[in-house]
Amino acid sequence: MFSPHIHLSNNANIPRVGVGVASVENPEYLVYQALKNGIRLIDTASIYKKDREVGNAINKAISDGITTRDEIFLVSKLWVHEKDDPLKALERQLKELGLNYVDLYLDHWPMQVFTRDGQLVKVPTHIVWKAMENLVERGMSKAIGIANYNVQRIMDLLSYAEISPSVLQVEVNPYFHQSSLINYCRSNNIAVMGYNSLCNAKYIYKFQPDFSLNLFEEPLIKALAEKYQKTPAQVILNWAVSQDIVVIPGTSHPWRIFENLDVLSFRLTNEELTKLKSLDRNMRCNDSTKWGFFEGIDFFA
């Protein structure tokens, strides 16, 4: 029903459905099973601290003849505390991954000030971006992109970028459509990758114990699941895919990989997509202001 890929500004093709490892409990097993069962897009990040396991799984899948490095699209991210030296950060990550390059390297959070060893470190985005462009020139990343940027920040970045961001990764789900941001990206040839597309209960309950919404229980989602004989999760992911948003739902359960890949097999009608607009609350499920992130950014140190 859907083509399996989206074409990026660096001429690479990114799969529409992948798996993110942030909240995955068994990353080596899960990534290997994902590759074995047809997933070719893996989303990781330095801050997840899972590079060794992710790399082991990828290298094992390649040596077992399941896939090739060319077929895999590996995304990783530069964490805030290493913004002053993206080259060193990616060199370290590649060593841990046991790989020569990533397909996409994202600036994980647009935070330009952090503390290290009690010292305040300030790195403006134009400096970070120049260093990230250098990673492409060195062949360490095929493309570069951004995560958690808003329109204003992207506009600023585009005013000086010599290599434009190929992808923006942000929270997108039926409670948080982000329509203006997505339209802006579309008109600037930046593909959108959605995270928390299902609203990750585990994550949310840890930081936001008062969060009580459940997308899976929304009557409209349930009715569409019934109509198409799919699960609520598949309807939600299909809604995102219908807008050319790449999805990377995390799961610790390999059987859900089939379910999540199968979202490419049906199409919601335009009328149904319009009805789903009624769920938009313009509200983040994953609200970083609740993490203590902005009071003391050493939360993730």
Ligand X SMILES: NC(=O)c1ccc[n+]([C@@H]2O[C@H](COP(=O)([O-])OP(=O)(O)OC[C@H]3O[C@@H](n4cnc5c(N)ncnc54)[C@H](OP(=O)(O)O)[C@@H]3O)[C@@H](O)[C@H]2O)c1
* Site residues (vs ligand X, CB under 6 A): 20-23, 43, 108, 147-148, 169, 195-203, 231, 233, 248-253, 256, 259-260, 286
What region, left, alpha or beta, does residue 22 occupy, with left being phi > 0 and alpha being psi -120 to 50 degrees?
alpha
Q: 9 vs 288, which CB is nearer to ligand X?
A: 288
Tell me if residue 29 is catalytic.
no
Sort 220 into a burial class: Cβ within 10 Å, 0-12 / 13-18 / 19+.
middle
Quote the least distance from Cβ 192 to ligand X, whole Å: 12
Q: 34 vs 137, which CB is nearer to ligand X?
A: 34
Quote the least distance from Cβ 75 to ligand X, whole Å: 8
Q: Do 104 and 73 contact (CB within 8 A), yes or no?
A: yes
Sign of CA dihedral 98, 45, 197, 146: negative
Sort 134 into a burial class: Cβ within 10 Å, 0-12 / 13-18 / 19+.
middle
Residues 104 and 8: their CA atoms lie apart, in Å, by: 11
Question: 2 is written with which tokens?
Answer: 């859907």
Sort 12 into a burial class: Cβ within 10 Å, 0-12 / 13-18 / 19+.
middle
Q: 138 vs 206, which CB is nearer to ligand X?
A: 206
Pick from 130, 128, 138: nearest CA to 107: 128
Q: 131 vs 193, which CB is nearer to ligand X?
A: 193
Which helix (H) or strand (E) covers residue 192, if one does?
Answer: strand 191-195
Q: Which of 48, 105, 149, 184 is catalytic?
A: 48
Q: 163 vs 201, which CB is nearer to ligand X?
A: 201
Instruction: Render 140-178 in DSSP notation, one character per residue.
Output: SBS-EEEES--HHHHHHHHTT-SS--SEEEEE-BTTB--
Residues 114 and 110: their CA atoms lie apart, in Å, by: 11
Quote the least distance from Cβ 250 to ligand X, whole Å: 3
Quote the least distance from Cβ 118 to ligand X, whole Å: 26
Catalogue the active-site residues.
48
